[in-house]
């Protein structure tokens, strides 16, 4: 099964992807049972796929879907009630719902609440990702499974367990309180970023389909921004995604080989997308407090705006990393900071910063540490040591294109030394 | 992150396994079925396969003309891959835990066989190196 619907179904497929999360929001709010609501909406979508191509798409497609989903829920609860003699009140209330009443419902807020639920910190990252793609993104389990290269049954199981976790946790279906909201929003942004990255780190070529996860991450972040346009970190995240994704065609060669930033063919960068990202960021920055996503977007923008690698405004990047370092304790940020310091103040400065990380257990044994050290040693002219660290990094990475790249660097230096 | 869990058997243990009692075999088979179901139910299962007995295994190399040249059964090695699982988990620790469960599959007399399970991460695609 392909990641996208076949072209003849695109209108209905796309319409359903847009509508099912809204309908799901309505059903969950009404019945307060996320697990069952998800199944009911899924059944309503199946009914739509069967009937709409034959009978035509109804004028109010959302109301149609909602009615079918409500009916499925009512049937479900009736069956349960007959067995357990309860919840009759809810059923009666639900049967009285009119279509007019549905349209008055604040659908947009429901989508936001869904997003908060699916990215709840009680869920593991992979469960939150799967659930978000399904409930908010409107993708099928098969499409999500395909994107993560696991069997469909595994993905269905993961989604079903995630729903159970939410049910068991008793999370109320509403926007989190003011005091909770900041933390919960950062979980949402983190999950959206992970979805984007999952697609971005997937190589081109044979895994082309997975790259659509980046597009899905961008689409979901756009939805989040539309719901909360005043939030500058959502804007920052969206800008970061656009500015990073703009380089996708340049970052791998024809055989999936890794091409580092300085060697990329910048003519392949997506200028339009860079302009969009820069515009978003420029609008967000003056509005309020600057968070880590806006800073990372700003760094990506500085890279993207350089015509040639040597035009890169490294002092600006270094200043941004210094701000970012104060905000987040992420060792990867510290590594990138060392690279920027080396570019501005020379490789010795960068190496000194790396030495300070020797005691940091999160990063000391990480291959990125060795890779950056090798890069800086090469800048400092120590080919012998650089080759040694490139090889050490190659031995530790779990990415094949990275391993090939790092071994190639070591081999290049060794050949160079033999010739001189 | 995906891991492959490889269950290795000793060359001699194949002959021993063939002589297990019916009860021992049944216990082992039931354990594996239960274990695989658990992997499926917990949403980490990607693939599993058992391999044919090593008696029929051949080592193949290309000869001068590119034709296959087969060697008999592994002359020098003592250990063989008996079967494997591929799982998709959140952390290496979770993979080790699952491997330990597989290792504890019941052997003769129902006691845990404690078979060695080699755990290796499956290569993924690249992130950015930062330079």
Question: Residue A31's closest CA among A83, A89, A79, A82?
Answer: A89
Chosen from A134, A154, A334 to mutate, greatest number of chain B CBs within 10 A: A154
Name the token pair of B57. 């295994």
Q: Is A373 on the interface with B (CB under 8 A)?
A: no
A336 contact residues in B (CB cutoff 8 A): 130
pLDDT value, residue A409 = 95
Q: How far is A344 from chain B (nearest CA, A)?
A: 14
Instruction: Find the CB nearest B125 among A158, A159, A201.
Output: A201
Taking residues A204-210, report their average pLDDT.
Answer: 46
User: pLDDT tens digits, residue range A363-384?
Assistant: 888 899 999 999 999 999 999 9
Residue A206, pLDDT > 50, answer no
- Contact assignment for B125 to A202 by CB distance below 8 Å: yes
d(CA B42, CA B36): 10
Where is pLDDT greater, at A210 or A237?
A237
pLDDT value, residue A410 = 95
A366 contact residues in B (CB cutoff 8 A): none
Residue A102: which pLDDT band, with cuts at 50, 70 and 90? Answer: very low
Residue B33: which pLDDT band, with cuts at 50, 70 and 90? Answer: very high
Chain-wide mean pLDDT for chain A?
86
pLDDT value, residue A105 = 46
How many CA atoms are closer than 13 Å to the CA of B22, on its beta-carbon side?
0
pLDDT value, residue A202 = 61
Percent pLDDT > 70 in chain B is 92
Instruction: Find the CB nearest B90 among A124, A157, A372.
Output: A124
CA triple B38-B41-B44, angle to 5 deg = 85
Give the chain A residue nearest B48 (alpha carbons). Answer: A151
Q: Is A371 on the interface with B (CB under 8 A)?
A: yes
Neighbour-count burial for A48-84, b at 16+ CB within 10 Å, e otherwise:
beeebeeeeeeeebbbbbbbbbbbbbbebbeeebeee
DSSP string, A232-255: HHHHHHHHHHHHHHTTTTTSB-TT
Q: Is A125 on the interface with B (CB under 8 A)?
A: yes
User: pLDDT tens digits, residue range A140-165?
Assistant: 888 888 888 889 999 999 999 999 89
Residue A288, pLDDT > 90, answer no
Taking residues A174-203, report their average pLDDT.
Answer: 84
Neighbours of B47 (CB within 10 A): 14
Percent pLDDT > 90 in chain A is 49
Chosen from A128, A145, A150 to mutate, greatest number of chain B CBs within 10 A: A150
Taking residues A338-362, report their average pLDDT.
Answer: 93
Residue A99: which pLDDT band, with cuts at 50, 70 and 90? Answer: very low
Whole-prediction pTM value?
Answer: 0.80
Residue A88, pLDDT > 80, answer no
Instruction: Find the CB nearest B125 among A203, A339, A371.
Output: A203
Taking residues B71-79, report their average pLDDT.
Answer: 70
Taking residues A397-401, report their average pLDDT.
Answer: 82
Element (H, E) at B70: strand B68-71
- Contact assignment for A261 to B131 by CB distance below 8 Å: yes
This complex has an ipTM of: 0.77
pLDDT value, residue A83 = 66
- Contact assignment for A399 to B127 by CB distance below 8 Å: yes
d(CA A311, CA A304): 10
């Amino acid at each position: 099964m392909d990641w996208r619907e076949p072209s003849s179904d695109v209108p209905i497929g796309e319409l359903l992807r847009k509508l099912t999360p809204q309908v799901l929001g309505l059903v969950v709010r009404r019945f307060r049972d996320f697990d069952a609501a998800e199944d009911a909406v899924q059944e309503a979508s199946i009914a739509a796929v069967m009937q709409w191509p034959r009978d035509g798409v109804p004028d109010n497609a959302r109301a149609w879907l909602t009615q079918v989903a409500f009916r499925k829920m009512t049937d479900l609860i009736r069956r349960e009630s007959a067995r357990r003699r309860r919840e009759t009140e809810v059923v009666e209330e639900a049967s009285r719902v009119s279509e007019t009443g549905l349209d008055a419902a604040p659908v947009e807020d429901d989508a936001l609440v869904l997003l908060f639920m699916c990215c709840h910190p009680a869920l593991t990252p992979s469960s939150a990702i799967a659930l978000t793609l399904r409930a908010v993104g409107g993708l099928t389990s098969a499409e999500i499974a395909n994107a993560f290269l696991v069997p469909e049954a595994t993905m269905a199981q993961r989604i079903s367990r995630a729903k159970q976790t939410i049910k068991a946790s008793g999370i109320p279906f509403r926007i989190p309180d003011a005091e909770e909201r900041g933390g919960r929003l950062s979980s949402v942004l983190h999950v959206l970023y992970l979805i984007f990255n999952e697609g971005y780190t997937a190589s081109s070529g044979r895994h082309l389909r997975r790259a659509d996860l980046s597009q899905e991450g961008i689409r979901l972040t756009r939805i989040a921004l539309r719901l909360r346009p005043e939030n500058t970190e959502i804007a920052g995240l969206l800008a970061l995604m656009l500015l990073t994704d703009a380089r996708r065609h340049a970052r791998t060669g024809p055989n999936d080989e890794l091409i580092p930033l300085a060697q990329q063919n910048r003519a392949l960068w997506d200028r339009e997308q860079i302009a969009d990202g820069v515009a978003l960021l420029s609008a967000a920055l003056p509005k309020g407090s600057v968070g880590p996503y806006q800073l990372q977007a700003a760094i990506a923008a500085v890279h993207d705006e350089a015509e040639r690698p040597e035009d890169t405004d490294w002092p600006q990047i270094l200043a941004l990393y210094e701000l970012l370092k104060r905000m987040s304790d992420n060792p990867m940020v510290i590594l990138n900071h060392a690279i920027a310091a080396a570019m501005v103040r020379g490789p010795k400065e960068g190496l000194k910063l790396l030495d300070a990380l020797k005691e940091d257990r999160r990063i000391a044994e990480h291959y990125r540490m060795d890779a950056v050290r090798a890069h800086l040693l090469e800048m400092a002219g120590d080919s012998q040591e650089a080759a040694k660290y490139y090889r050490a990094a190659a031995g530790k990475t779990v990415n094949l294109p990275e391993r090939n790249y790092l071994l190639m660097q070591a081999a290049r230096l060794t050949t160079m030394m033999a010739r001189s | 992150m995906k891991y492959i869990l490889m269950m290795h058997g000793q060359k001699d243990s194949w002959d021993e396994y063939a002589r297990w009692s019916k009860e021992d075999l049944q216990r082992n088979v039931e354990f594996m079925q239960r274990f695989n179901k658990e992997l499926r139910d917990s949403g980490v299962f990607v693939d599993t396969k058992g391999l044919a007995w090593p008696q029929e295994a051949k080592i193949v190399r290309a000869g001068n003309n590119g034709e296959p040249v087969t060697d008999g059964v592994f002359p020098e090695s003592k250990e063989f891959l008996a079967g494997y699982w591929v799982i998709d988990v959140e952390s290496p620790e979770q993979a080790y835990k699952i491997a330990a469960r597989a290792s504890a599959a019941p052997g003769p007399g129902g006691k845990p066989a404690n078979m060695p399970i080699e755990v290796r991460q499956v290569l993924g695609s690249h992130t950015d190196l930062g330079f």
